Structure 1
Amino acid sequence: MNKFTRDQMAARVAQDIPEGAYVNLGIGLPTKVADHLPADREVFLHSENGLLGMGPAPATGQEDEDLINAGKQPVTLLTGGAYCHHGDSFAMMRGGHLDICVLGAFQVASNGDLANWHTGAPDAIPAVGGAMDLAIGAKQVFVMMDHQTKTGESKIVTHCSYPLTGMACVNRIYTDLAVLDVTLQGLAVREMAPGLSFEELQAVTGAPLLPLK
């Protein structure tokens, strides 16, 4: 089955981020989006640990150990970028000042419910972090994730079985198989990986899909 690569997924998300947007990139896969934003498009990247105006990952050997994102990965700061207090950074998130956040997920339900902080495993450390603030505070929530778990279970479901991060908050889902819009009618297929049929996509998805128009 043909799949989008992680770089193709990141480039596809970057394509949907408009000029002048204030955007938070979540820990993990979403951080790759920073490397695919067009150089001629002004986008203000926010990190919850107190950065605004974050740039792409630095070249090897050019890392600054004091300049990291929320996932403790080295980043760059663009000209005009700023540092701020952690409290101010969360005020931006909670106050509706972010246009888009891009988050990873364990599960997304067909109504846009998001579960991305805990699988319910007894030995896991519960730490929702800023995900809840982002899911509710951002004007649009994009999820970027693999379509299935490593054991072949769909991460797109009718109802989430994991603890929720936010209810009915996801607007669009980007996976290695498709781009889906969360609509009042259900999950609408916007794009599919090359060579993938609707029937094949539906067969590996745990919720009903609306065909590509």
Structure 2
Amino acid sequence: MSNKHMIAKRAGLALEDGDIVNLGIGIPTLVADYVPEGIKVYLHSENGILGVGPTPQPDEVDKNLVNAGKLPVTVEQGASFFDSASSFAMIRGGHIDVSILGVLQVDENGRVANWAVPGKSVLGVGGAMDLLEGSRKVIVTTLHTTKEGESKIVKDLQYPVTSLRKVDLIITELGVFEVDEEGLVLIELSTGQTIESVKSKTDARFRVGLSCEEILENNRRVKQ
């Protein structure tokens, strides 16, 4: 399993029965394929779908069914379709339980940058700001470092901040961080990782909430 799919699978484990969940562009879209058995969630796409299903097989693709990232999707029985204004009314009205977002960077206070790179053209903000402000819980899914090996979990954001609202959970291929009033707390280590290996690839300061052994045991319980 690739790192991106591993991250998406772990994000799926953070969902609860009955959640209305918005999936952002990138790794978050993969979460549709990793909703745990035994729970029912309602996947929301900000272009106007509630009830998105798993990724379609090649022979199931319908060019009229796409998500906000223009990728083909399936829909569950009972799915509903609506205009963009109604979709954003859901978001701004506090009707999204969980948003799963990709980021360019996240800082040590849990604030994210994910909509603009200075010096490059910007097509538009999209729904990132609304999702951060309107969702009850926000989960970040991201590779821990850039292609150049630079940490994406940083002390201070180098890109324009998306919202001052802190996210709740950060999931990378190295581990999982919770965000509290004091900053980042490492709560899980991925297989083969140590606290020191995570520190070596993380610019931001973080606390370790448990001992290394307890973190590894917590990780094993999650995977069962």
TM-score range, shorter chain: over 0.9
Q: Is 1:158 aligned with 2:122?
A: no
Please identify, of 111-120 and 45-54, the stretch whose mean Cα deviation from structure 2 is larger.
Answer: 111-120
Aligned-partner residue type, residue 188 of structure 1: V
Moved more, 100-109 or 194-203: 194-203
Q: Distance in 2 between matches of 1:123 and 1:163?
A: 12
What TM-score do the two structures reach when normalised by structure 1?
Answer: 0.95
Give the SS at the match of 2:63: coil
Q: 1:206 aligns with which of 203, 207, 211?
A: 203
Task: Find the counterpart in structure 2 of residue 64 from structure 1.
Answer: 62
Does 1 or 2 have the higher relative contact order (CA < 8 Å, sep 6+)? 1
Partner residue of 1:145? 142
Instruction: Output the TM-score relative to the length of structure 2.
Output: 0.90
- Could you tell me the percent identity over the aligned residues? 43
Q: Is the 8 A contact 2:132 2:165 kept in 1?
A: no
Give 2:83's aligned residue.
Answer: 85
Per-residue CA deviations over 1:169-205 (Å, capped at 9, x if unaligned) read 2111011111101111221111112121111111110
Aligned equivalent of 1:128: 125
Alpha-carbon distance between aligned partners in 2 of 1:185 and 1:123, rounded to the nearest angstrom = 33
Letter in 1 for 2:137: Q
For 2:200 and 2:124, the matched residues in 1 are separated by: 33
1:204 alignment partner AA: K
Q: Is residue 190 of structure 2 the alignment partner of residue 196 of structure 1?
A: no
| Secondary structure at the counterpart of residue 163 of structure 2 | coil
Please tell me the root mean square deviation across aligned C-alpha atoms, in Å.
1.4
Structure 1 gap ranges (5+): none
Counterpart position of 1:104: 102
- Conserved in 1, the CA contact under 8 Å of 2:21 and 2:97? yes
Cα distance in 1 for partners of 2:193, 2:165 equals 28
Moved more, 192-201 or 94-103: 192-201
From 112, 115, 127, the equivalent of 1:114 is 112
* Unaligned residue ranges in structure 2 (runs of 5+): 211-224
Deviations 1:47-93 (A, max 9, x none): 00000011111111210000110000110110111001110000001
Residues paired across the two proteins, number = 210
For the residue of structure 2 that corresponds to 1:61, the secondary structure is: helix
Deviation at 1:212, TM superposition (A): 4.3
Q: Matched residue of 1:8: which SS?
A: helix
Which 4+ residue blocks in structure 1 deviate beyond 2 angstroms? 123-126
User: Is the deviation greater in 56-65 or in 13-22?
Assistant: 56-65
Are the equivalent residues in 2 in contact too, given 1:117–1:126 (CA < 8 A)?
A: no
* Bigger fraction of residues in helix: 2
